[in-house]
Amino acid sequence: MSIAGIESMLKNIDKLQGNGDKYGREAVREGAEVYAKVLSKNTANDMGDLSQSVETSGIKGAGKGSLEVDVGYDYQTGWRAHFPNDGTVYQKPQHFKERSTEEAREPIQKIFLDKLKGVTDL
């Protein structure tokens, strides 16, 4: 590794320390919106308004260095989401939560990488 490579790496680390929180918040918020759209699309439609009740929370854990956003169903309808997802004695499981997680993984990772590239010289 050359000295120029180390200097470039240190410069990028300084940029991340200065702007990383702002871009991190944007990435987490945009990733949550992507997952909410995918979850709403994949949710079983025969459950009434369950697919329209997907919500995102505000950003949590910023003071602790761990940014997260909760994505899920609202309080009134969310309690029944596990029945079609996990199945019952009379109903086969549909696994729309797991399918949504797999489907949204790549677009969310792309958002995170694009935000990281926006901060650094990568």
The predicted structure's pLDDT at residue 1:
41
Cα–Cα distances (Å) from 51 to 44, 84, 94, 108, in that order, read 7, 12, 14, 20
The predicted structure's pLDDT at residue 5:
67
Alpha carbons 58 and 69: distance in angstroms, whole number: 6
The predicted structure's pLDDT at residue 17:
63
The predicted structure's pLDDT at residue 45:
75
The predicted structure's pLDDT at residue 100:
96
One digit per residue, pLDDT tens: the chain, 122 residues? 445 666 766 666 666 666 667 788 888 999 999 999 999 999 877 656 888 889 999 988 877 777 899 999 998 888 888 898 999 999 999 999 999 999 999 999 999 888 888 777 66
Direct distance between the N- and C-terminal alpha carbons of the chain, in angstroms, rounded to an integer: 16
Alpha carbons 40 and 29: distance in angstroms, whole number: 17
The predicted structure's pLDDT at residue 9:
66
One-letter amino acid at 87 equals G
Domain that holds residue 80: 3-121
Provide the whole-model pTM. 0.81
The predicted structure's pLDDT at residue 3:
52
Cα–Cα distances (Å) from 38 to 34, 43, 69, 98, 105, in that order, read 6, 9, 15, 11, 10
Overall domain count for the chain = 1
